[in-house]
Structure 1
């Protein structure tokens, strides 16, 4: 009885406090970075009904008052190249994203984990189950192709291409931001420039994007950029280049300036092209990329048969040693050799002891050619995709790209279904836990590449403007209250190659749509995230 009376009294007190309050939250005395690149100002920020309602001196009270003195208050970070489409169905917590200060995800090259016709239901499921962050997605051109003609090589007929366009139209009408591609991988690599232009024209009807993991990010990166720009110009769409890099060790310091000049020239003549990147010198992808693309020309099943055939392997090894060839980007060559490719996850007990070691070391220990070792590991791990880290980029090239005002940030990583473990693709890469804090910790604090204001702009207002998220990315009255509070002195990405799932420090609070999702560095369990649907404004 006494306990019931106590709880009733507490409830009445809370109700009275809420009734007397003017706002849901008031963040007091922080150093407010508005996200537009302006210097910080000391101000209060008031939040009500999911939006920022006042910035400056806020005389009214909040149901919750947050002391931000000595802390920075910024818009929540936007992940421009996310891989969480499937992970969020399993667990909407996205704890690794929240701990980085991320409040919005844009699903990238793979598209949603459902066909185009299933996207309305997929979005509804996410909304019903609840997600901790905002989420929007592209639709993959590869999904359209496989839906219509399977995973083998070959040019589509006119009717097949029209059927693919119908899939793109369905996706755009459901709220996709555009079409994406991953032209470096089969079967996406079997799509021609003309195929992509045709599908881009469909996305253009809804003012959509063409977003791409380009056909080549290594020796042929400039030609690949030119192809992406051509698709954008002929298709009438905006172009987003995923994880921009010059991933070719023999030409570090040469290819990136050429790549940037190509993009800047296109922008100067009116092409709406930009890019995102992750701030690391190694990419992460499957071991299957070590096999030339012709191996997969008749589909995955036939490709696996070829990889098992010792005679076919002899040809494959000769081509791996020879370097890249038309239609195939040789990432071993791009990395400078097998000694710069590190096994990340083999998905098998047999090869678990080799995790973290290079393919050169593994081959030597097994008395095998490193390529044979890689293919054996890939086959043993099936049906999972064995993955590796390819150290292909130079830090100076990363810095040069990061300085471009049109470059935003994308993690190329999924929300963790099991926090502290690799994401949905099983790749232990520090970008999944450290990308956004690293932009500030490494490139603002440890070396003078960016100002704090510019670093925040790249992660907030610029990507919001780029994606047409008109009410996000800024701390101004009327904007959605996606907000991050951080301590600049203690901010650090922490995650490393040896400890890729370590959590960052210094991200103290994350607010999503006006609801506290991370408090004192700990998730609250709130699911205030929204599904973001790109409006299909017919042109």
Structure 2
């Protein structure tokens, strides 16, 4: 008698995540696991015809910030609608646990500034039914989601929890405080944390411009966190080093990364981008990473397949005229009325004649430097041709750059977007990105899902990697099988989740069925579905025919099915 399955995916072009060649095969699923791959004679209670379609493992996004969203929301968009079936949150040293009641406001201010999540959204949405990190995980245990997720314990939260106001003021930790930090990390990993995260990035500040608590922590403190991983016998370490702007050279950064790896006994990942202030630092870091790997130290860079920067738009958090006094007078108006007001010649002249006014100089800088920005377009183009930057376009047309930006923002009835790259586009192309992408030790990540609600929408990067880098780019394409491996098995193993990221019998049935030739991105758009009516950016795509999590279809043709098979995933060192 032929074997029966819950689901059978028929005749798909299977790219299994291993990096090996594609093949035509059926996949049989039983009890949320892959039971059979090959030619299947038996039937499934549900049959999916994948003839002519790409079948891959679900994508594993190892760098997100859904720490707050998981407490109030079941759908972790905009990751789950781009083929992601597992996300890792708690990155960059910021999050919401551990936290004493009197420290909640501090962590909210940090998250508001670092990750652009409005304070009212967190105040209204987060239930705060925990204090310790194990209690935070327990509060999520029974909830249902459209994808699986795991969590790091964040450094800034640990620091404030242990040191109180001294930690917030970034004073040095005492030996006893360091011992407590080690203990907290160890207990968090035993409770299911996938690792610990930290940040030394000078751009990570509260909305008032104060540095996040972890910034400037002495190496001894960072290593105290790493020691907690060793004592727990598990977990990974994620960090943004203090060389993000080139303020520390490559050798200094790598020295700390090596110490972390040696102390923790586990793998370490760090953020790597091409910065205009230090054009070739990424190449030095890649070479030093190769040397560390040759020495047996599992250090890997997290890299991103597109420019990193801010989106400017009239419905978003920022644009070049956001803080001009004459614009502020109409900022409260609904978008159609605001667009109409901006088209009035007198208002236009007034706005263009003014300078931005804001108490935080960082915001002045963000909205004043847009010569390298470009119109994103529809479909969005993240590598425009030479000559398409606003500064170049203004010079070609012999007009003021502010006038050009003003007119572009009014296009599409005020819905047009400008991309202002801060990283990965210093030379006007993505050639440096390709160098980082194809390095043997790189991890494709940095999507930041769940954060930057009004400035950035980067969690669509899996769709970019597949559609742009394997199909549409005119030069320097990468193999499809390689790209799928980087989105799946490579990331799963990097965070010690060996039960996913590969289409193999006995592993989790997290699967994407994709119309590869029809895969395309739509422009980011704001939606107002957060607590207290808060706004966030989301981005949709065409081409995802179906996504399965734990063997259950969660999306069909980009539309949620209503099924919520995703759960909290505790790390492999968890003791329960």
Please give the range of the TM-score, normalised by the shorter of the 2 chains. Answer: 0.7 to 0.9
Q: Partner of 2:184 in structure 1?
A: 167
Q: Partner of 2:466 in structure 1?
A: 440
Alignment of 1:12-27 (within 5 A): 22-27=4-9
Is 2:136 the partner of 1:109?
no
Unaligned runs of 5+ in 1: 1-18, 286-340, 356-360, 379-387, 416-423
CA distance in structure 2 between the partners assigned to 1:431 and 1:457 by the alignment: 20
Q: Partner of 1:478 in structure 2?
A: 506
Match of residue 255, structure 1, among 270, 281, 305: 281
CA distance in structure 1 between the partners assigned to 2:133 and 2:78 by the alignment: 25
Is 2:298 the partner of 1:272?
yes
Cα distance change, pair 217–508 in 1 and its aligned pair in 2 (3 A): same
Provide runs of 4+ in structure 1 moved above 4 Å.
Answer: 341-346, 351-355, 361-365, 368-378, 496-500
Q: Partner of 1:305 in structure 2?
A: none
State the Cα distance separating 1:397 from its structure 2 match. Answer: 1.6
Unaligned runs of 5+ in 2: 100-130, 205-210, 312-317, 336-348, 367-418, 528-536
Does the 8 A contact of 1:80 with 1:276 survive in 2? no
Alignment of 1:285-324 (within 5 A): none
State the Cα distance separating 1:156 from its structure 2 match. Answer: 1.0
CA distance in structure 2 between the partners assigned to 1:211 and 1:70 by the alignment: 39
Alignment of 1:200-349 (within 5 A): 200-206=226-232, 207-219=234-246, 220=248, 222-223=250-251, 225-247=253-275, 249-252=276-279, 254-283=280-309
Does the 8 A contact of 1:342 with 1:389 survive in 2? no
Give CA deviations for 1:61-82 in whole Å, capped at 9, x if unaligned.
0000000001010000000101
Does the 8 A contact of 2:87 with 2:150 survive in 1? yes
Is 2:40 the partner of 1:58?
yes
Cα distance change, pair 281–228 in 1 and its aligned pair in 2 (3 A): farther
How big is the alpha-carbon RMSD for the aligned residues of Structure 1 and Structure 2?
3.4
Alignment of 1:509-524 (within 5 A): 509-524=546-561
State the Cα distance separating 1:450 from its structure 2 match. Answer: 1.4
State the Cα distance separating 1:530 from its structure 2 match. Answer: 2.2
Match of residue 123, structure 1, among 126, 131, 137: 137
Q: Partner of 2:443 in structure 1?
A: 408
State the Cα distance separating 1:366 from its structure 2 match. Answer: 3.2
CA distance in structure 1 between the partners assigned to 2:11 and 2:496 by the alignment: 30
Does the 8 A contact of 1:133 with 1:528 survive in 2? yes
Is 2:538 the partner of 1:501?
yes
Is 2:491 the partner of 1:491?
no
State the Cα distance separating 1:35 from its structure 2 match. Answer: 0.4
Higher helix fraction (1 or 2):
1
Normalised to the residue count of structure 1, the TM-score between the two structures is 0.74
CA distance in structure 2 between the partners assigned to 1:470 and 1:45 by the alignment: 19
Normalised to the residue count of structure 2, the TM-score between the two structures is 0.70
Q: Secondary structure at the match of 1:430?
A: coil
State the Cα distance separating 1:502 from its structure 2 match. Answer: 3.2
CA distance in structure 2 between the partners assigned to 1:511 and 1:390 by the alignment: 34
Does the 8 A contact of 1:351 with 1:377 survive in 2? no
